[in-house]
Structure 1
Amino acid sequence: MGAVEQTIANANRDRSGALVGYLPVGFPTIADSIDAAVALAENGVDVIELGLPYSDPVMDGPAIQKATQQALANGFRLQDGFDAVAQITSRVSVPVLMMSYWNPIMQFGVDRFADELVAAGGAGIITPDLVSDEAADWIAASQRTSLDRVFLAAPSSSDARLVRAVGASTGFVYAVSTMGITGARSDVDTAAKMLVARLRAAGSTSACVGLGISTADQVREVLRYADGAIVGSVFVSALATGGVSAVAKTAALLSTGTLA
């Protein structure tokens, strides 16, 4: 069991489950994004997702798209992502997963990317637009380096595809709770509960639900049936409007949803 899965298991043993927090690297600056990620870890977030800005973020909502476009406009480079992971992991012990579209990884070189991430202290990669059926190179590289690989599962996925996603994932399976793009919503999609049940039937022992979670009550609701709740847009919005201190306050508030 790797660090991510162990952390999630510990959160389910000690509390209601895990809180996973997303922020993009480089927004509003590299230094601010590092400080904000550290603030997540220091205020109740169990696992950090660090997003790599990408020019065509088709699966991201408006808040994340705006943030990543600003990071790119500021001159973000892929090496900045590895440097950020190294700085974050030197300050906190929370596992850090990179979240990246596949094209930047492929262009950089899959094995080279894996080696750089290991050297920085990263725990693995979430690949939202890569399905397990087409991930042979990444599976081989992650097995060689012991990095976690997190694949997505959606309500529209067939049972056979869910089985493949569960079999290929390590750390957790990312259960997409709503069809479409990310972004905070007033209600977590009821399809999430059914999707997690289907993932359990497919053999998953670690499933986290993301897309649309923005309140402590929604975290609490998700953790009644899932192992972790993934929060992104609300942290990005807090950083945009109130800086690192607002991220810390938001994380502390949302983490109350993990308490039994």
Structure 2
Amino acid sequence: MIDVRDVTLRLGGKALLEDVSLACAAGSLTVLVGPNGAGKSTLLSVIAGDMAPDTGAVALAGRPLGQTRVRDLAQVRSVFPQGSEIRFGYPVEEVVAMGRAFRDLPPHADRAAIDTAMARSEIAHMAYRNAQTLSGGEQARTTFARVVVQETEVVLLDEPTAALDLRHQERVLASASEMARAGATVLAVLHDLNLASAYADRIVLMSGGRIVGEGAPWDVLTAERISTVYRQPVCVIRHPERGCPVVLTTSKEDACV
């Protein structure tokens, strides 16, 4: 569903992405991780069609991005942008409803989709509030609900948990996982390695505009690899309930045994 082939993007003489290839299958949740400046958000922007690579190609659901109109893209992919600040004073419910605006979906299904998305994001009680009066986390949940109601095959999330408290971080990623289980192809950028480990089917580790590791959480999130890429000593242990890797920072390389 997401097919990135040999993508390179340069800006001001600097390579933001260098020969990146990535394939994400339907029914999967893939998480991009890596230090600041690794190229995660840039890659997501290229996949969304917001930035054009200098070389290489991207296709979504078999459609080459360079040959797809913006309205047609809205039928295929939804995007949670980094920051997710809402800059217009519409009621929350109307902001969520915008996710249906350019989709060729039956109008009679709009009401149920909007109500379900707001309930999932726990913003139903704020339906008639001016969206600009919301906190950063409430705006992020509103933006996520807008993504949910778009009901696309490809879902692109750029740091969807950055402004959220502990409960809503879990709920948003659980919802992203549910969308993947229902058949969507979900690709998210996260900074929290432990959230990525808990929910991702596959993790893609980036550094310096390149992919330096990809695979299942236990295969990618090794203490040696993370310590090298992030330049910070860590240890990796097993979560007592989820069984996934848990990354802990430490001042000594051998602090966790």
TM normalised by structure 1 equals: 0.36
Normalised by the length of structure 2, the TM-score is 0.36
> Which structure dedicates a bigger proportion of its chain to helix?
1
Q: Which has the higher strand share?
A: 2
